[in-house]
Amino acid sequence: MCGIFGYVGPRKDAVEMAVEGLKSLEYRGYDSWGVAWKESQFLNVHKETGKISGIDGKTLAGECSLVIGHTRWATHGGVTVANAHPHLNADRTIAVVHNGIIENYQELRDELKAKGHVFLSQTDSEIIPHLIDEELKTTGDFAHAVRRTCLRFQGRYAIVAVHTKSESIVAARTGSPLIIGKEKGGGYFIASDTPAFLKHTRTVQYLDDGEMAVTDGRSILISDIATGEERLKREIEIRWTADEAQKGDFAHFMIKEIMDQKESVARAVNQSDEEILTLADAIRNAKGTFLSGCGTAGMACRAGEYFLSIVAHKHVNFAPASEFKLFHGFLQPESLLIVVSQSGETADVLEAMQVAKSAGAKVLSIVNVQGSSIDRASDYTLRINAGPERAVASTKALTGQLAVLLLIAYALDGGVAQGKKVLLETAAQINDMLNPRYVVFLKEIAERIKDSKDLYIIGKGWNYPMAMESAIKIQEVSNIHAEGFAAGELKHGPIGLVEEGTPCIVLAGSDEVLPDIISNAVQLKARGGFIIGVSPVNNEAFDVWIKVPDAGTAQPIVNIIPVQVLAYELALARGKDPDMPRNLAKSVTVK
Ligand code: G6P
């Protein structure tokens, strides 16, 4: 989704920093970009469609100390230069970047049109500089004009605005993230995510919903948008470093992050026993526990249902976060909602939390990003410690989420130590498995199936959500039509889709359901399916066997990893950039 960058301070290379900062936000997904900077008393603007990767900020502008920038993921209006941000008012004295959706924009646009304003884009965002312009007619103060403008919005937004007559940047948020970075020698950054400025500072302040910030680079004033009251905010040191957020010698973030799993699963297990036991108690005592998340994190939740049921004999309900509000009737003040999210910013998840909180229920979150909106809005949080995940296709965050959910299940059954032992053994097995020969083997399989029109994946028990997750991974980066099914459901419809040579991935463990899933594999093979078995043991039903460790209760964690590599290799074999999947964004901050 859209990325925002802003800087004001003593540095003279503000535009160059903005371009580099926006490049660090590329992983969020975007289709156009732009920057506006102040030089003398003028605002200069540069906007383009397409990627920012090849741009050198130095060639855009000379010395300057105040800049705002944006990467846009189209919502209102197509991918055009006119629709790219920053947007300006008529006399080009105000520039604004915006993330989110102004729901009442049509009404505000009509009102502005009636006053003679002319719009150059189809976006909801363009109304913002025009509204600020109108407010400036009655108040001379830029920050005040921005405040009054924000009060007119319905919907979720994060904005950053500048004005030729002001030395300050003004930022405001409701529903979409904005983080302030403070540099030691002076100067402030404002961004939608910390990688944008991690190279320069790790000291941050988080803006909360309904808050705005005004900074001239020397000091910052944070206040409540509605009342104007000052808000004092803690400065927090974030743990991630700029290096962790780079891809180093790897060709893509996706493969780097897949390989990170050699260590990240062990880091996810590194939780305090006391905290895990407290959370297990919260689940034990709750009257109704719900699990919710989106996309890959939703698949972690579905596997969590099996972990809690099989390991801890505990019944929980899953609903995708976008559906969760429809189940509000089952929530009570004693209920517990467990949300899972890598970014901690997904709009649907935030909405689900709101629904639970309105019913008086408590929210436990399992997140990766420290200080994210979900992290801060939860009653309890467990961090998966995966380190920055930049590729749109989530890999190491998923295995971290699975590890934490499995650990919670063990804790509920009184065995935190046992859970940690199982998971640390699994982490060591992953380290052995992800060797160069293994990757070459998966690449060969990808070459063999790369021209397939369809691909099906089956799993049973906790491997069923991993079958659906495998489909997500393959769809996302290779754009092959892929679907994951519960193995036993094949005969009720999906088997009709299998033709001679259709690749079918079978996810198995060495557990009690192995005979069932092998029987389903045989049924697929009998219809011409090309069977790729992912399993600790070989079977004559498999045309190709991808060997995985026997990981017991942690089997879904090891089974999904070769499929992640296969999806990556399929993307490359089909000439796709796995880090820039078509139409997708890393952090989905709109509903
Ligand atoms: C997007 C990403 C997925 C991710 C999902 C949920 O669709 O592309 O990789 O699983 O959002 O994101 P979250 O940050 O809440 O885990």
Bridge partners of 457, per DSSP, are 484, 505
- Nearest protein CA to atom 2 of ligand 1, as residue: 586
Domains in the chain (CATH in brackets) are 3-247 (3.60.20.10), 265-573 (3.40.50.10490)
What's the pLDDT at 587? 76
pLDDT at residue number 540: 94
Q: Ligand 1 pocket, 341 CB below 6 A?
A: yes
Catalytic residues: 2, 586
Q: Ligand 1 centroid vs 253 CA: distance in angstroms?
A: 15
For residues 319-330, give the mean pLDDT.
93
Say yes or no: CB of residue 339 within 6 Å of ligand 1: no
- CB of 267 closer than 6 A to ligand 1? no
* pLDDT in the model for residue 282: 94
pTM of the shown model: 0.85
The answer on pLDDT for 195 being more than 90 is no
The yes-or-no verdict on residue 126 having pLDDT over 90 is: yes
Q: Is the CB of 392 under 6 A from ligand 1?
A: yes
- Which residue minimizes the CA distance to atom 7 of ligand 1? 295
**Stretch 392-411: mean pLDDT, rounded?**
97
Residues 6 or more apart whose CB falls under 8 angstroms from that of 540 comprise: none
pLDDT at 193 over 80: yes
**CA of residue 537 to ligand 1 center, whole Å:** 32
d(CA 374, CA 364): 9
What value, to the nearest 5°, has the Cα angle with vertex 444 and ends 439 and 448?
Answer: 145
Q: Is the CB of 475 within 6 Å of ligand 1?
A: no
Among 49-63, 201-215, 298-312, the least confident range: 49-63
pLDDT > 70 fraction of the chain, expressed in percent and rounded? 99
pLDDT score of 223 = 97
Higher per-residue confidence, 423 vs 241: 423
* Confidence band of 336 (pLDDT split at 50, 70, 90): very high
d(CA 400, CA 302): 14
Total length of the chain: 591
Average pLDDT, the chain: 93
Nearest CA to ligand 1 atom 15: 341
pLDDT tens track for 548-585: 999 999 999 999 999 999 999 999 999 999 998 887 87
- Residue 191: pLDDT band with limits 50, 70, 90: very high
Backbone phi, psi, residue 432, to 5°: -70, -40
pLDDT in tens, 67-84: 999 998 887 788 899 999
* Residue 198 tokens, joined: 């991690």
Query: Over 90: is that where the pLDDT of 140 sits?
Result: no
Tell me what the mean pLDDT of segment 225-231 comes to. 96
pLDDT exceeds 80 at position 590:
no
Q: Please give the pLDDT value at position 56.
A: 87
Instruction: Determine the distance separating the centroid of ligand 1 and the alpha carbon of 340, expressed in angstroms.
Output: 10
Phi, psi of 410 (to 5 degrees): -60, -40
Rounded CA-CA distance 550/402 in Å is 16
| Helix, strand, or coil (residue 564) | helix
- Cβ–Cβ < 8 Å for 397, 297: yes
